[in-house]
């Protein structure tokens, strides 16, 4: 049996596809496919992705109910920072993939969550239950997981509306002279290497805010806050300004000196409104040991210890 969701458009809603992307937890490609297949109607009629909405228009979308996951639970230790009946916040270690994908069908965070948590949102489908946003395999730190579909929709809407905040710590190559820096460059799939992302005028809007914490001459310790959430965004933006993340063997130098286990990039702070109560919640994850050791080494070398 299909699920049916009806939403009333407000003034300034704009294009149908963009409007739905902010309202329901589906990707832009999934929304486009739903519109083109006739599963979306505006005022009872079929529509096109580019149709402009007017205040009061009724948008109805039919969706297949989520299928039960075939991904197997695995008894893998996972640091659950917080959980209740709606959400769980986890501190993912470096080296762990978030959800099953080609080459990584076991040992993922989703496998661990299925073992440790009794319920997860089904919106993400069979291989991504509960997953609202991701962080890269070799990035550590916080991400929020939805435990029911209503929570998933709320969290997705917060991320789309840029009201949820995600702040990272990073050590980058070179000296960033500015105290604060806003990088506003669109990101898309690299035209030279389809496995990578790149700054591209034809890509999707992407904005990262940088704040310098400490300078060490050949390296800079920074905070990076996402305004948008594109794939590899922080890593791509920093490489674009010639300040790649230390340890990033995809977008940075191949020679690794500070840490050879992956990039020195850690999702340290997550701020969101609780999906059920609306309470503003702030979560923090301490820097991993290897990150602290890299910082200590830089401080000792610079005489700052």
In the numeric block, the tokens 């993922």 are attached to: 108
Q: 117: closest CA among 150, 96, 87?
A: 87
Active-site residue list: 136
């Amino acid at each position: 049996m299909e699920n049916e969701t009806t939403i009333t458009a407000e003034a300034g809603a704009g294009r149908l596809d963009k409007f739905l992307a902010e309202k329901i937890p589906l990707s832009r490609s999934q929304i486009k496919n739903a519109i083109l297949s006739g599963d979306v109607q505006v005022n009872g009629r079929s529509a096109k992705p580019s149709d402009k909405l007017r205040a009061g228009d009724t948008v109805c979308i039919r969706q297949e109910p989520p299928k039960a996951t075939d991904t197997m639970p695995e008894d893998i230790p996972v640091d659950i920072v917080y959980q209740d009946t709606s959400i769980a916040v986890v501190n993912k270690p470096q080296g762990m993939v978030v959800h099953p994908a080609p080459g990584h069908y076991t040992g993922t965070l989703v496998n661990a969550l299925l073992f440790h948590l009794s319920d997860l949102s089904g919106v993400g489908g069979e291989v991504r239950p509960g997953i609202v946003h991701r962080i890269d395999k070799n990035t550590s730190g916080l991400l929020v997981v939805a435990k029911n579909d209503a929570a998933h929709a709320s969290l997705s809407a917060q991320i789309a509306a840029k009201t949820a905040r995600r702040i990272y710590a990073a050590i980058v190559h070179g000296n960033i002279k500015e105290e604060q820096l806003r990088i506003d460059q669109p990101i898309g799939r690299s035209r030279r290497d389809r496995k990578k992302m790149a700054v591209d005028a034809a890509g999707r809007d992407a904005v990262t805010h940088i704040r310098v914490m400490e300078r060490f001459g050949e390296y800079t310790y920074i905070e990076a806050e996402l305004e948008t959430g594109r794939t590899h965004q922080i890593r791509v933006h920093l490489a674009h300004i010639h300040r790649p993340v230390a340890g990033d063997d995809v977008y940075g130098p191949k020679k690794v000196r500070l840490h050879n286990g992956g990039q020195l990039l850690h999702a340290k702070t997550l701020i969101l409104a609780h999906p059920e109560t609306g309470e503003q919640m702030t979560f923090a994850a301490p820097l991993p040991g290897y990150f602290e050791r890299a910082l200590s080494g830089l401080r000792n070398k610079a005489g700052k210890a």
